[in-house]
Amino acid sequence: MSEQGHVVKKNGEMDTGMVEDALKRIDPERVDDILESFGQFKSYLKHRLDLGKKIGLNEEQLAKTAEKIANYLADHVDPKNREEKLLQELWKVGDQEEQHKLAHMLVKLVENE
């Protein structure tokens, strides 16, 4: 199987530059399902977090991926509920360091689900 288009390579290294491409490949109906409620959104992130941990990604790698996802969502996806709207607003007003900390907090939030 080709590694082209994959975020995580066979050697375990991560290419965060591929996160946006991977997100663009998700069917728009699936995106709507994921974002239908904040609970659905957290459940989706939890599943992805668990997969990342299973293949050996550490918290920093997970947070960097969460940053890429948050950037994409903030720029391309309308929030479906007030929690997502709040996250988007916080993301947009934060500087890069604050966004990185918020990404770590999102990882912790879904870890505790």
Is the residue at 97 inside a domain? yes
Is the residue at 6 inside a domain? no
The pTM assigned to this predicted structure is: 0.78
Residue 112 has pLDDT above 50, yes or no: yes
How buried is residue 14: exposed, middle or buried, by Cβ count under 10 Å (0-12/13-18/19+)?
A: buried
Q: What is the CATH number of the domain that holds 50?
A: 1.10.760.20
Per the prediction, the chain carries an average pLDDT of 85
Helix (H, G, I), strand (E, B) or coil at 78: coil
Report the amino acid identity of residue 9: K
Is the residue at 10 inside a domain? no
pLDDT of residue 32: 85
- For 11, phi and psi rounded to 5 degrees? -80, 5
Determine which of 7-11, 16-20, 52-56 has the lowest per-residue pLDDT on average: 7-11
pLDDT of residue 1: 41
What is the Cα–Cα distance from 58 to 84, expressed in whole angstroms? 25
Is the residue at 1 inside a domain? no
DSSP, residue by residue, 64-78 = HHHHHHHHHHHHH--
pLDDT of residue 43: 92
Report the domain count for the chain: 1
Is the residue at 101 inside a domain? yes
Better-scored residue on pLDDT, 98 or 5 = 98
Domain that holds residue 47: 16-111
Is the residue at 69 inside a domain? yes
